[in-house]
Each structure stands twice: as structure tokens, then as C-alpha cells.
Structure 1
Amino acid sequence: MSDKPQLSLVVAVYNGENFLNAFFDSIKAQNLDSLELIVVDDGSSDRSAEIIAQYAQEFANYRVLSQANQGVSAARNTGLAVATGEYLAFPDIDDVIHPGMYPRLLEIALKNQLDVATCNGTYIYDDGRPSKKIFPSDKLASTDVLEGPVWLQRALASRKFLHVTWLNIYRHDFIKAQGFTFEHGLRHQDIPWTTEVLLTAKRVQYIDETYYDYLIHSASVSHTPGTNDTRMRSARHYMKILEMLNTINLRYPEQVKRVPACQWQIAKEGLGILHSINNIDDPAKRKEITQELFDRGIWQMIWRNARGLRQRWRLGRRYFRLKRYLAES
């Protein structure tokens, strides 16, 4: 019998002292007999290292790696490079993982020889709003085993799909064969990661079972009003994401023919960039980022990938506004 663990959990930690006890307890509650837990301390300056060390005796196969702060993608790559499990997962430490999530995903993955197994989760708001499913059941139902492009088209076409790593487990040999890693220094790098993984996966299955609470903090950077500088940074991150998505589409032309929503999502994310630019109230900064949008060919890419009258109409309206920004003195 192979000594290879069934699952490697790669956990990026940066100043997570407020979440680590609950996180590790949730992993213990999974009751996995064949688990490799890889914790990457990404330069924490709080008590994270101390708490991580306290749990060394709680898991049979527990590995701690430390590095200078480089961001979540670099931390995931550090853990990915040393993982030995048959399947991989990348949970976030500040969310809630319900008992049974990983045993259930492993059950269907091993039974059906899946490249990717994925489940549902719940949005939990800390401002009193009612919780809701991440993937509404009337938009995305449980599937049989599908080819990755088939699932990606279905998911994107629902308009309710969330590009995340933490609802999935991945077959390690598949990830290794494709040479997939996470993009350093990029916010929302789950978007290109998920797109490329699903375009190339042969066997994927989704179960509409909720095992993960995604906590939305009203005070977080993503959910508070931005400044001109944060909006410019966001626009640049998403420009990079669009360039990556465009490269992915060019890399897999046959698969993309089966997933027209891959082009739709470039225009959809592009509209988000235009929204960020529109909210910049400093004319000089607004002109700077708009000029960059055209100089990098982002506008042309967005327009070329737009699908349907609605997207083109929305983009057309914004084009003339962008031109006005460029004319501002």
C-alpha cells in the first residue's frame, strides 16, 4: 500500500493569530486518516508562528515552512513545491470549514478519478445581512462527471460562478503535469488559475453540498470605499488578470471554442476596470490610468472579447467617457 497521503492541505498564513486556533480545530474535525498538512508562515509578525508550533503534536504529518513575506500566491507555491499528497487543497485560514468537507470531496474524487472535485459554500456577512449560498441551487445543480471545459461553460454561463481555489480539491499529478503555479503579487489570482485548470481538466464533478463558510468582513479592503490610489492599484491588478486570461485563451484555442464564456468573462472583468476608473476623482490620475488602459491594449482586448448586444452597449457608452478622460488637462 502506498505511503502517499490522500490529501495535502497547503495553508498560507500571514498574521493569522485571530483565526489559527479555529482553523486547525476545523481541520482536526475532518477526521482524515491520510492527511499531509503543510503550513507556510509568510513572514508573520504576530503570534502566528507560536500558535502554528503548538499544533505540531496534533497532526501526524505536519510540516511548517517559513519565509519572508511575499504574499499568498508565493506561500502557496512554496507549499505546492513540497506537497506529496494524491490530492491538493488550498483553504483560507479566516473562513470556516465544516466537518466532512474533505472526506466527501475525496470520496467522489477517488471513486471517479477526478482531476477536480468541488462543492458549494455559504457567504456569511458580519454586518447582519442574511447568509446565502455561493452558487444558488437554481443556477448550478450537482453534476455527473464532466470535462473541465463543459463545467466551466456551465458555471460561467450561470453568471453566479466564483473563481476560487478553496472550494476544490485537485489531483496532484494533473497539477504537476500541467506545471500550474500561482501568480506572485497578484490580487484575485484565483481567476486565471481556475480558468486554466478547468480548461485543461478531463474529469470534474460538482456537488451542491455546502461545506465552507466564506466570511465577508465589512471592514476588509475589498468591501470598503476605496481611495484614488487603491482604485488605480485595483485597475492594474485586473489589467494583469485580463492579459493572463487572454494568454490562456490563445494557449487553448480548441477548448475555448467550446467555452465562449471565456471571452465573455474578459469583457465582464474589463467592465469592472472601467468602473474603478470612473470612480477616480483626481483628473490627472484618471487620465494616467486611462492612458495605460489604451497603451497596454486592454481596451481593444475588452472590446474584441465582448459577447452580445448588452456587453457591447455597456462598453460603447464607456468608450466615449474614457476619451473624455484622455482629453482632460
Structure 2
Amino acid sequence: MSDQPLLSLVVAVYNGEKFLSAFFDSIKSQNIENLEMIVVNDGSTDSSAELLARYASEFANFHIIDQANQGVSAARNTGLAQATGLYLAFPDIDDVIYPGMYNRLLEIATQNSLDVATCNGTYVYDDGRPSKKIFPSDKLASTGVLDGPTWLQQALASRKFLHVTWLNIYRHAFIKEQGFTFEHGLRHQDIPWTTEVLLTARRVQYIDETYYDYLIHSASVSHTPGTDDSRIRNSQHYMKILEMLDAINGRYPQQVKRVPACQWQIAKEGLGILHSINNIGDPQKRKAITQELFDRGIWRMIWKNARGLRQHWRLGRRYFRLKRYLAD
């Protein structure tokens, strides 16, 4: 019998002292045979390093990699380069993983020779709002084995799909064959990662079974009112995402013909950029980011990829507003 780990968990840690005990307890409760833990301490300045050293003795195959702070994508890439498991997963340390999640995903992945196995989860809000399923059952039901483009079109067409890595496990050899890595320094880099993975995956299966609580912190950067500078940074991150999505669509033209929603999502994310620009109060800062939008060809890309009367109508209204910003 091979001594290759069945699953490698690649875990990025940055100042995670508040979450690590609960996180590692949740991993122990998974009761996974032949588990490899690759934990990347991404320049933490709190007591994370001490906590990691303490938990290392509680797992049979536990590796700590220390590096200067470079962000979650760089930490994942560091761990990915060291992982040896048959399958890979990338859990976040501040979320809740239910017992049985990884065994269930491994069960369908090994039985059906999957490149990607994925399940459902729950949005949990710390401000008292009621929790809700990430993928509503009436929009996305369990599937049999599909090829990646079929699942991606079905998922994006639901308008309820969330680009995330943490609800999935991936066949390591598939990720390695494709040479996939995470984009350094990019917020929301799960969007291009998931898109390219699913465009190239041959065997994917989704089960509408809830195994993960995604905690939405009301005080987090993503869920608090922004400043002009934060809106500019967010717009620039999404411009980069659109450039990456457009390049991905260009690399896989045959698959994208089967997934018209790949073009729709560029326009959809583009509308988000326009919304951020509209909320910038300083006229000169708003003018500068609007000019960047046109200079980088982002507006042309958004318009080219728009699908349907509704998207074109929404974009058309915003075009004249953008031109007014440039005239300010």
C-alpha cells in the first residue's frame, strides 16, 4: 500500500491566534486517515508560531513553513509546492469545518475519479443576521459527474455561484499537470483560479450537502464602508481580475464557447468596478481611476463581454456617467 497521503491540507496562517485552536480541533474531528498538514506561517507577529508548534505534535504528518509576510496567495503557493497528497484542499482558518466534510468529498472523489469535488456551506453573520446556504438548493442541486465546463456554466447561470477554493478538494496530479498557482498580491484571486480550474477539469461533482460555515465579519475590510482610497484599490484589484479572466477565456476558446457565462461574468464583475468608482467622493481621484479604466482597455473589455439586453442597458447608462467624470 502506498504511503502517499490521501489528502494534503494547505493552510495559510497570518496572525491567526484567535482562530487556530478551534480550527485544529475541527481538523482533528475529521478523523482522516493518512492526512498531511502543510501550514504556512506567513510572517505572523502574534502568538501563531507558538500555537503551531504546540499543535504539530498532535498530528502524525504536520509541516510548518515560516516565511516573510507575502499574502494568502503566496502562502498557498508555498504550501502547494511542498504538498504530496493525492488530493488537495485550502481551508481558511477563521471558518468552521463540519465533521465528515473531507471524508465525504474524498469518498465521491475516489469513487468517481474526480478532478474536483465540491459541497455546500453556510453564510454565518456575526451581526445577528440569520445564516443562509451559500448555494440555494432551488438554484443549484446535487449533480452527477460532469465535465468542468458543464458545471461552470450551470453554476454561473444560477447567479448564486461563489468562486471559492475552500468548499472543494482537488486532485493533486490535475493541478500539477495544469501548472496552476495563485496570483500573488491579488484580492479575490479565487475568481480566476476557480474559472480556469473548472474550464480544464474533466470530472467534477457537486453535492448539495452543507459542511462549512463561512463567517462574515462585520468589521472586515470587505464588509465595512470604504474610503476613496480603498475603493480605488478595490477597483484596481478587479481590473486585474478582469484582465486575467479575459486572458483565460483566450486560452480556452473551445471551452468558453460552451460556457457563455464566462463572458457574462466579466461584465458582471465590471459593473462592480463601475459601482465602486461611482462611490468615490473626490472628483480628482474619481477622474484618475476612470481614466485608468479606459487606458487599460477595461471598459472595452467589459462592453465586449456583456451578454443580453439587461447588461448592455446597465452599462450604457454608466458609460455617459464615466465620461462626465473625465470632464470634471
Which bracket does the TM-score occupy, shorter chain normalised?
Answer: over 0.9
For structure 1, the 5+ residue unaligned runs are none
Amino acid across the alignment from 1:312: H
Match of 1:291 in 2: 291
**1:79-120 superposed Cα distances (whole Å, 9 cap, x missing partner):** 000100000000000000000000000000000000000000
Match of 2:95 in 1: 95
Looking at structure 2, the residues matched to 168 and 124 of structure 1 have their Cα atoms a distance apart, in angstroms, of 19
Amino acid across the alignment from 1:216: I
SS at match of 2:57: helix
TM-score by length of 1: 1.00
Match of 2:162 in 1: 162
**1:237-262 superposed Cα distances (whole Å, 9 cap, x missing partner):** 00000000000000000000000000
Looking at structure 2, the residues matched to 168 and 78 of structure 1 have their Cα atoms a distance apart, in angstroms, of 19
SS at match of 1:55: helix
Match of 1:280 in 2: 280
Looking at structure 2, the residues matched to 166 and 242 of structure 1 have their Cα atoms a distance apart, in angstroms, of 22
TM-score by length of 2: 1.00
Match of 2:321 in 1: 321
Match of 1:70 in 2: 70
Please report how far the alpha carbon of residue 149 of structure 1 lies from its aligned counterpart in structure 2 after TM superposition. Answer: 0.1
Looking at structure 1, the residues matched to 4 and 253 of structure 2 have their Cα atoms a distance apart, in angstroms, of 35
Match of 2:111 in 1: 111
Please report how far the alpha carbon of residue 34 of structure 1 lies from its aligned counterpart in structure 2 after TM superposition. Answer: 1.1
Looking at structure 2, the residues matched to 308 and 34 of structure 1 have their Cα atoms a distance apart, in angstroms, of 49
SS at match of 1:58: coil
For structure 2, the 5+ residue unaligned runs are none
Looking at structure 2, the residues matched to 186 and 317 of structure 1 have their Cα atoms a distance apart, in angstroms, of 29
**1:2-24 superposed Cα distances (whole Å, 9 cap, x missing partner):** 11011000000000000000000
Spell out the pairing of 1:66-215 with structure 2 (5 A cutoff). 66-215=66-215
Match of 2:312 in 1: 312
Number of equivalent positions:
328
Please report how far the alpha carbon of residue 268 of structure 1 lies from its aligned counterpart in structure 2 after TM superposition. Answer: 0.1
Spell out the pairing of 1:222-237 with structure 2 (5 A cutoff). 222-237=222-237
Match of 2:41 in 1: 41
Looking at structure 2, the residues matched to 227 and 12 of structure 1 have their Cα atoms a distance apart, in angstroms, of 28
Where has structure 1 moved over 6 Å in runs of 4 or more?
Answer: none
The RMSD of aligned alpha carbons is: 0.3
Please report how far the alpha carbon of residue 57 of structure 1 lies from its aligned counterpart in structure 2 after TM superposition. Answer: 1.1
Spell out the pairing of 1:261-280 with structure 2 (5 A cutoff). 261-280=261-280
Please report how far the alpha carbon of residue 56 of structure 1 lies from its aligned counterpart in structure 2 after TM superposition. Answer: 1.1
Looking at structure 2, the residues matched to 118 and 236 of structure 1 have their Cα atoms a distance apart, in angstroms, of 30
Amino acid across the alignment from 2:253: P
Looking at structure 2, the residues matched to 32 and 88 of structure 1 have their Cα atoms a distance apart, in angstroms, of 13
**1:118-172 superposed Cα distances (whole Å, 9 cap, x missing partner):** 0000000011110000000000000000000000000000000000000000000
Amino acid across the alignment from 1:12: A
